[in-house]
Amino acid sequence: MHQQSLQRETMHRLWCRQLQIEFEAICFQYDVDLRVPLFEITGARKQYGCWLPGQGCIQLSEHLILSHPWHVTLQVLKHEMAHQVCSELFAISRPGGHGPDFQRACGLLGVSAPFRRAGGDLAGVVEAGDDGAPGTAPGRRMLARVRKLLALAGSDNEHEAALAMQRAGELMARHNLELARADEEAGYRHLVIDTRQKIVPAYRKTIGAILRDYFYVRVVFATQYDPRVDQSFRTIELLGRTENVPVAEHCYRFLEERLHFLWQANRHRYRGHGRTARNSYFLGLLRGFSERLAAMHPPEPQARRAVSFPAATPPAVLATEADHGLQRFVRQHFPRLRRTTGRRVRIDSHAYGEAVATGRSLVLHGAVTDRAGNRGRLLDR
């Protein structure tokens, strides 16, 4: 029992250290000047966070930290930091309310809408896995039809399967084009995929590019702390309209599964090349699949574009760049987002070339689920 108590105290110290790191990073990201508070981990199970202005202390619940992904803990931290903003920057003597001043403070810190509610409601928000605003009725209808089409795309009839996938893509394109033309704002969603790996391999970056180019989402590669092991792992984060994110996530998981399945079935053909052959095979499959999607989704004529891009720009990129609500949503979560370039990757031309041909025959299919994507570890590879 004494040993367990010591281990718990050690973990609490590590979490408080990480919370200070996160606090300073949030202040930098959002250009907000706050005093670094004391941090305390509590045993509360209903009150997930608390700002104590007299003590200059932010309390967070151990139950919150252990039961939910770290980015949920960060939203609760930002909620309490918003109370601190009211105390220190707005000079509000009793900063416990959740009125207009608190909402303004939440805006300064990019607190997600569901986490701007009163503390009594916050636990319910967290437990529900609420990660964004509700979608529109047309968006829900579109998603329901896409689900049916992708279920049909699993048909043994190759022509019928390919046609179902193409129609699903056309339906998404038409839906997003109509929204862009109407400049209609809708609900947006932020979904985090925890890879459980320290680096992002080249093939996952390529999957991210496919999701960006053809599935109407913004893709961000970030890092997330795991309090159970006191380590940070890379994440793949999808931001987009509420109806687009589940389809993009489904495509991600479909490609992850197919790449590994096809490699296991064909790896004997490339013995002696190991990791280079596998990575080349993955990239070849993705190149072929991307070519198939490009053939199904030709770019719109220049005259119909809402923004100026090169002629070969995929329609999904045009739609997301023209979606001002989405751009604001992305900036809310990543105010200092920057682009980076990857390193060159060694390619086994034999494995790559054969895989491209296979990739051109891949048909996206399966059941599109609507996960509470902020829950738990999603990959164990």
Q: Model confidence over 61-97: pLDDT tens digits?
A: 999 999 999 999 999 999 999 999 999 999 887 767 8
Shared domain for 84 and 163, answered yes or no, is no
Average pLDDT of the residues in 144-165:
91
Packing angle of the helix pair 244-266, 158-182 (nearest 10 deg): 150
Structural domain including 58 reads 2-128
217-231 pLDDT, tens digit per residue, is: 999 999 999 999 999
Domain count, the chain: 2
Q: What is the DSSP letter of 325?
A: H
Q: Is the model more confident about 336 or about 185?
A: 336
Shared domain for 334 and 202, answered yes or no, is yes
97 part of a folded domain: yes
CA gap 254, 168 in Å, rounded: 15
32-55 pLDDT, tens digit per residue, is: 999 999 999 999 988 999 999 999
Shared domain for 106 and 20, answered yes or no, is yes
371 has a pLDDT exceeding 80 = no
**Candidate from 220-224, 236-240, 335-339, 376-380 with smallest mean pLDDT:** 376-380
376 part of a folded domain: no
Neighbouring C-beta atoms of residue 144, cutoff 10 Å: 12
Residue 332: the pLDDT is: 94
Average pLDDT of the residues in 269-289:
91
Shared domain for 41 and 160, answered yes or no, is no
**Candidate from 52-56, 156-160, 258-262 with smallest mean pLDDT:** 156-160
377 part of a folded domain: no
The segment with the largest mean pLDDT, out of 156-160, 287-291, 366-370, is: 287-291
373 part of a folded domain: no
Distances (CA, A) of 22 to 25, 37, 39, 122, 375: 5, 12, 12, 20, 20
- DSSP E strand boundaries for 195-287: 217-226, 231-241
374 part of a folded domain: no
204-221 pLDDT, tens digit per residue, is: 999 999 999 999 999 999
Residue 132: the pLDDT is: 59
310-334 pLDDT, tens digit per residue, is: 667 888 898 898 888 899 999 999 9
381 has a pLDDT exceeding 50 = no
369 part of a folded domain: no
Give the mean pLDDT of the chain: 87
304 has a pLDDT exceeding 60 = no
Q: Report strand pairing: 188-194 vs 49-52.
A: unpaired
Shared domain for 116 and 225, answered yes or no, is no
372 part of a folded domain: no
Q: Which of 128, 157, 178 is the last residue of a domain?
A: 128
Phi-psi region of 366 (alpha: psi -120 to 50; beta: other; left: phi over 0): left
Residue 240: the pLDDT is: 95
Shared domain for 113 and 226, answered yes or no, is no
Give me the percent of the chain exceeding a pLDDT of 70.
Answer: 86
Shared domain for 43 and 146, answered yes or no, is no
Q: For residue 102, give the CATH number of its domain.
A: 3.30.2010.10
Residue 197: the pLDDT is: 96
Shared domain for 99 and 195, answered yes or no, is no
Shared domain for 158 and 89, answered yes or no, is no
pLDDT band per the 50, 70, 90 thresholds, residue 137: confident
Shared domain for 168 and 111, answered yes or no, is no
pTM of the model: 0.90
User: Is 300 exposed, middle or buried (CB count within 10 Å of its CB: 0-12, 13-18, 19+)?
Assistant: middle
Shared domain for 121 and 158, answered yes or no, is no
Shared domain for 123 and 141, answered yes or no, is no
Residues 6+ apart with CB under 8 A from 344: none
CA gap 357, 359 in Å, rounded: 5
